[in-house]
Amino acid sequence: MFVTFEGIDGSGKSTQARLLAERLDDVVLTREPGGSPGAEEIRKLLLTGDPDRWTAETEILLFTAARRDHLERTILPALTAGKTVISDRFADSTRVYQGATRGNLREIVDQLHKLMIGREPDLTFVIDMDPETALNRGLARESGEDRFEDFGLGFQETLRHGFLSLAHSEDRCVLIDGNRDVAAVAADVAARFAARS
């Protein structure tokens, strides 16, 4: 089974992906951008530097290149070996971050996805959260990978609406309320996972 976590920056995806992975056997926990050596190199280009370092169109190409490598070298081999793959972000992030924040580029995102990726998760947890709290959580980490957080609160609000509309339009998506403590969110995720697997 291929499971993904999606949501705005700082919504708790990494924490919840890790906690779900800890409950399961035969699992590969991975992330985007990254998840393979080549894709981790591309990650550095995307997440550091000025917000205007890349246009949304160039980002689509870089994220898709990273995803193709991640898919070929990490995700598909693990699924073929019968493992569960849990990825912290996948193609839905490109649909929302690149497809719907700086003009409507969704058609380009969809075409490139069809051409180069062509794979959807079996189950996607979309963690919804108040953008102001999430942004503060994310920036507090001081990870040095804050290029998208640096677009500001309005950007995060647009993203939130993008993720909500995606969650309502796809059967594979389960919407999770992230405005609760870590254990409560994790218990919800585990119950919804059990119901779908």
Given a contact cutoff of 8 angstroms between Cβ atoms, the answer to whether 85 and 78 are in contact is yes
Residues 50-69 contacting ligand TYD, CB under 6 A: 63
User: Which residue among 10, 35, 131, 162 contacts ligand TYD (CB under 6 A)?
Assistant: 10
Q: Find which of ligand ADP, ligand TYD, none residue 181 binds, CB within 5 to 8 Å per kind.
A: ligand ADP
Tell whether residue 9 is a contact of ligand TYD (CB under 6 A).
Answer: yes
Number of residues that bind ligand ADP (CB under 6 A): 14
What are the tokens at 11? 């919504």
Binding mask of the shown chain, residues 119 to 138, with x at each position contacting ligand TYD by CB under 6 A: -------------------x
The CB-of-162 to ligand TYD minimum distance in angstroms stands at 11
The CB-of-145 to ligand ADP minimum distance in angstroms stands at 10
Tell whether residue 142 is a contact of ligand ADP (CB under 6 A).
Answer: no
- Contact window for ligand ADP (CB under 6 A) among 5-13, 62-70, 77-85, 112-120: 5-13
Burial per residue of 85-103, b for 16 or more beta-carbon CB atoms within 10 angstroms, e otherwise: bbbbbbbbbbbbbbbbbee
What are the tokens at 141? 């980490």
- Contact window for ligand TYD (CB under 6 A) among 16-24, 93-101, 111-119, 186-194: 93-101
User: Which residue among 148, 155, 163, 193 contacts ligand TYD (CB under 6 A)?
Assistant: 148
Residues that bind ligand ADP (CB under 6 A): 7, 9-15, 137-138, 141, 181-182, 185
Residues that bind ligand TYD (CB under 6 A): 9-10, 13-14, 32-33, 47, 63, 88-89, 93-94, 97-98, 138, 148
